[in-house]
Amino acid sequence: MYIHMGITYSFWVSDTMIACPWMRDWEEKLLFILIMGALAGGSFNCPSSCICASDLLSCVRQNLHQVPKPLPSITVSLDLSHNNLSHLHNHWLSSLSRLHTLRLNHNHIRQISAHAFHNATALHHLDLSSNLLEDIREEWFKSLCKLEELLLYNNRIGYVDDSTFSHLSNIQKIYLSWNLMTNFSFQSMQNLTNPHLRTLDLSSNRFLELPVEELSALPAFIKNGLYLHNNPLTCHCALYALFTLWDNRGFSSVVDFFEAHTCLYMGNPRAIVRILQTQNGFDNCSLGKPHRLQDNSLKVLVGKSLMITCNTSLPQENTTFLWILPTYEFLAFPGNSNQSFRILHNGSLEIRKAEMWNAGFYLCIAVNKWLNYNATHEVNVTVHYPKQEGESFNTGLTTLLGCVVSLVLVFVYLYMTPCNCFHCCFKHPHTPSPPLESSGQSSILCGTPPTFEGPNSRRAGINRHVVFLEPIKEGRGEKNSKVIQLRSDSDSASSVFSDSPIVST
């Protein structure tokens, strides 16, 4: 008798085997083969149309119209994609309690029974994309409490139950793009029933209008991964304000698909407008008007305290307040253990001493069980250091002033050549004698100043461009000055274009 995995296997041993030792070896080998065959048949039966590799079962492209049976109980990953399956029956996964990944994409599935996934409690990844599903029912996914990724894109889905995803407490990604949806309920996600949700893809559907108020009330981490591009939306100012605000806040859903956010002007399919590339919105929408969405933001200095109110319409009586910090930490009354955060009875959150890591989005959730109503309020907190006393002067103004001063100095250097002799700069020019007046034309045109030798000779300044020569006296004590004799007109004209200096005779 042999026991394996709760199954008892019995084998008969003859007296001849015991009496004849020479037959014992042969009988033992036969017994070993029978045991191994029984174990293999009892615990792992691989369907003939599939490939089994340890705990993986692949039945891809086998033209299957029904799920093959039996399915090994140790299966962790099951791939039935690219077949002709049309219906998933109740409890068809009842023997696969360890199933982690299920791929059913590219089939012809139209109908799913209410308890089709009843026993797949360990399922994390479910792919139902590229099928023929027309609606999504709430009871399908009730037992999938560990599901993290759900792929439903490229179907014919036109309707989704309001509470379809409310039971998926661990869901992180939901893909519903390329379907026929015209509306979707966002209210169920305002109550943080899906706290780990980071991607909700509703792009490429048939949404004509969006519930702007419901979208504005969603937590920031859902807005960041809420994809709504490539829908035939009708242009209006509230829609422009919504996506402009998301773009200013840097949400990936808008930034990554900047040009794909379009709308139809006045519903005309031919008048496609790129929402985020318009200058003033549609029909000169102004964000200062009532169309502007409320963006609550607060600022606080490092080390200071801050009070954040939970601004909801719910009364304080019978209302429970819960806060979600920027680190996605849940905070309930009265606060955390180190008392850095404190929740008051009215729902307000007090930050005792703000630090730089306290910056981010704070979400308040108000739950009133008596009214059976929930509300949320989101606040953006910015923490910064105080300015020092010497930092009051504007840096931009300082840069501009420096540029102006530099420009002025350049002009002074180029057009106002400094004088070597300070007294000479203010010396009044002498009135030239009549002979020199007549010779002014030649002296002005001459580029090289005349040179005179002797103790009574005077040289023109090297830096002067126009040269005027004063009469030269023969000596200091003589009263009558002897004027330089002028040359003839022909000599004077030639001297203008001559490189040699003008010398008096």
Domains in the chain: boundaries:
2-40, 48-277, 297-384, 429-505
pLDDT at 399: 84
> CA nearest 210: which of 177, 255, 242, 247?
242
Please compute, for residue 185, the number of CA atoms within 13 A of its CA located in the half-sphere on the CB side.
Answer: 12
Distance of alpha carbon 298 from its chain centroid, rounded? 22
Q: Which residues pair with 58 in a beta bridge?
A: 51, 79
Residue 367 confidence (pLDDT): 83
Half-sphere exposure of 481 (CA within 13 A, CB side): 12
Q: What is the mean pLDDT of each run of 10 residues along the chain (505 residues)?
A: 43 44 53 47 72 93 92 94 95 92 97 91 96 94 94 96 90 96 87 85 96 86 93 90 89 92 85 80 55 66 87 75 84 81 86 86 82 76 75 68 86 71 55 48 44 47 45 45 43 44 46
Beta-carbon contacts of residue 383 (< 8 Å; ≥ 6 apart) = 299, 300, 301, 302, 354, 355, 356, 358, 359
What's at 151, amino acid-wise?
Answer: L
pLDDT of residue 324: 85
The sheet that has 373-384: what strands, in order across it?
297-301, 373-384, 360-368, 319-324, 330-332
Helix spans in 361-449 (H): 395-415, 422-425, 434-438, 440-445
Neighbouring C-alpha atoms within 13 Å toward the C-beta of 415: 6
Q: What kind and span of H or E run contains 173? A: strand 173-175
Q: Which residues contact 194 (CB under 8 A, 6 or more apart)?
A: 165, 166, 168, 169, 171
Q: Do residues 141 and 163 lie in contact, with contact meaning Cβ atoms separated by under 8 Å? A: no
Q: How far apart are the first and last CA of the chain?
A: 148
Three-class SS state of 354: coil
Q: What is the DSSP string of 277-300?
A: G-SSTTTT--TTSTTSPP--EEEE
Name the strand (E) or helix (H) holding 42.
helix 24-43
The amino acid at 103 = R
Give the Å distances, CA to CA, from 76 to 71, 90, 115, 118, 130: 11, 20, 20, 16, 23
d(CA 286, CA 456): 86
Domain 48-277 and domain 297-384, same fold? Reply is no
**Region label for 502, one of left (φ > 0), alpha (ψ between -120 and 50) or beta (otherwise):** beta
Helix (H, G, I), strand (E, B) or coil at 423: helix
- Contact of 166 with 193, CB cutoff 8 Å: yes
- The Cα-based distances of 260 to 57, 204, 231, 274, 296 in angstroms read 39, 10, 9, 7, 28
DSSP-assigned letters across all residues of 179-201: S-------GGGTTTS-TT--EEE
CA distances from 95 to 74, 327, 364, 459 (A): 9, 40, 43, 118
**Rounded CA separation 505/502 (Å):** 10
Is the CB of residue 355 less than 8 Å from the CB of residue 302?
yes
User: What confidence score (pLDDT) does residue 338 get?
Assistant: 77
pTM of the model: 0.59
425 contacts: CB under 8 Å, gap ≥ 6: 419
- In contact, 245 and 293? CB cutoff 8 Å: yes
Cα(323)–Cα(310) distance, integer angstroms: 9
3-state SS, one letter per residue, for 87-122: EECCCCCCCCCCCCEEECCCCCCCEECCCCCCCCCC
CATH of domain 297-384: 2.60.40.10
- The correct answer on CATH 3.40.30.10 for the domain covering 48-277 is no
CA angle 299, 300, 302 (to 5 degrees): 145
User: By CB neighbour count within 10 A (0-12 exposed, 13-18 middle, 19+ buried), where does 490 fall?
Assistant: exposed
d(CA 365, CA 319): 10
Asked if 126 contacts 140 with a C-beta cutoff of 8 angstroms, the reply is no
